[in-house]
Amino acid sequence: MGRGGARVIRMTVRVARADYERVLGELLDMTPAGWEERQAEGDAVEFVLYGAAGELPALPDLRAAVGGALVGVSTAEIDDDWGESWRDAHPVGDGGPLRVRAPWHPPGALDVVIDPGQAFGTGQHDTTRLCLELLLELEPGGPLADWGCGSGVLAVAAARLGFAPVLACDVEAASVQATRAAAAANAVAVEALRCDLRRAAGPWAPTVTANLVRQLLLKIAARMERPPARLIASGLLREEASEVAAAFAARGLRETARREGGEWAALLLEAAA
């Protein structure tokens, strides 16, 4: 976005926090390439969407989908060099011995380099950090699948840690491309492909990472026929974690660890020995 003189539109959608999850589910179906999320003043949350003209949802469609949760919506045209202004907004993410950093930060011993201008997910959100913390606790090795790979943070981190082969998937073509680019930039092997987790099972591996949302994780659990040996699930508000853990427990995956940060939670779910 924003390259080659293409016009980039930024749409800011402000909604009531009480309706956060329902709106998030609607955006999963309506947005072309993800969104940013930020706290708004008062009891509200903002979703910030980017896209070329014609890519973002039409205002009547958005209002119809969000309904009474909508507090306000605004659009603005972004300068063609908008990506450069993101640099100060993307510090190095501290995941313990593993760091997630943008290309312009100095290298460290064990880094995952992610360009924040490529796709949704830059390693700075609590949900990604919590997934990385749980991933670091696992004995690395063997195949891993990353369901909903975004910009490839978790897939690249897994490959850096020693999991192989690593397979990543996402419904968005931009995320698949960004993950392939991130793998190349980090000199690791990650196969990335498109998949729609709302309609079909993700690629199987004994270890799976799934930084998604409650609604989608519950759908995955409901139709899961071949559970992995261990699943890291995140994208959850703290109060949603137990419900999701119970859904996967019905598929033979029991909760063995939980990490919380801010208002978010991540789960490590493992098959009984």
CATH code for the domain in which residue 12 is found: 3.30.70.1710
Tokens of 148: 């909903």
Domain of residue 256 covers 90-271
Range picked from 89-98, 116-125, 148-157 for highest mean pLDDT: 148-157
Q: Which residue has the higher pLDDT, 59 or 233?
A: 233
Looking at the fold, whether 45 and 166 belong to one and the same domain comes out as no
Cβ–Cβ < 8 Å for 10, 76: yes
- The answer to whether residue 3 is domain-embedded is no
Looking at the fold, whether 19 and 119 belong to one and the same domain comes out as no
- Which of these three, 62, 83, 104, is where a domain ends? 83
Confidence check: pLDDT of 206 > 90: yes
Looking at the fold, whether 141 and 239 belong to one and the same domain comes out as yes
Looking at the fold, whether 199 and 137 belong to one and the same domain comes out as yes
- Which of these three, 17, 52, 83, is where a domain ends? 83
- Which of these three, 66, 83, 100, is where a domain ends? 83
> What span, in angstroms and rounded, lies between the C-alpha atoms of 168 and 156?
9
Looking at the fold, whether 128 and 242 belong to one and the same domain comes out as yes
Per-residue 3-state assignment (H helix, E strand, C coil) for 175-207: HHHHHHHHHHHCCCCEEEEECCCCCCCCCCCCE
Cβ–Cβ < 8 Å for 132, 112: no
Q: Whole-model pTM?
A: 0.67
Phi-psi region of 6 (alpha: psi -120 to 50; beta: other; left: phi over 0): beta
Confidence check: pLDDT of 243 > 90: yes
Identify the residue whose tokens are 């997630």.
Answer: 100
Q: What is the pLDDT of residue 194?
A: 95
> What span, in angstroms and rounded, lies between the C-alpha atoms of 266 and 232?
7
- The answer to whether residue 1 is domain-embedded is no
- The answer to whether residue 107 is domain-embedded is yes
Looking at the fold, whether 115 and 54 belong to one and the same domain comes out as no
Looking at the fold, whether 175 and 56 belong to one and the same domain comes out as no
Looking at the fold, whether 73 and 107 belong to one and the same domain comes out as no
Please compute the mean of the pLDDT values over residues 236-241 and round it to a whole number: 92
- The answer to whether residue 184 is domain-embedded is yes
Q: Which residue has the higher pLDDT, 147 or 86?
A: 147
pLDDT digits (tens, 9 = 90+) for 142-179: 999 999 998 888 999 899 889 999 999 998 888 898 89
Cβ–Cβ < 8 Å for 103, 128: no
Q: In what order do the strands lie in the sheet with 253-261?
A: 190-194, 166-170, 144-147, 207-211, 230-237, 264-271, 253-261
> What span, in angstroms and rounded, lies between the C-alpha atoms of 218 and 245?
9
Tokens of 155: 């897939």
Confidence check: pLDDT of 131 > 80: yes
In this structure, of 120-134, 192-206, 224-238, the range with the lowest mean pLDDT score is 120-134
How many distinct structural domains can be found in the chain?
2
What is the DSSP track for 85-100?
GGGGG---EEETTEEE
Looking at the fold, whether 129 and 64 belong to one and the same domain comes out as no
Q: Report which of 202, 244, 246 is spatially closest to residue 225, judged by C-alpha positions.
A: 202
Looking at the fold, whether 208 and 158 belong to one and the same domain comes out as yes
Looking at the fold, whether 95 and 76 belong to one and the same domain comes out as no
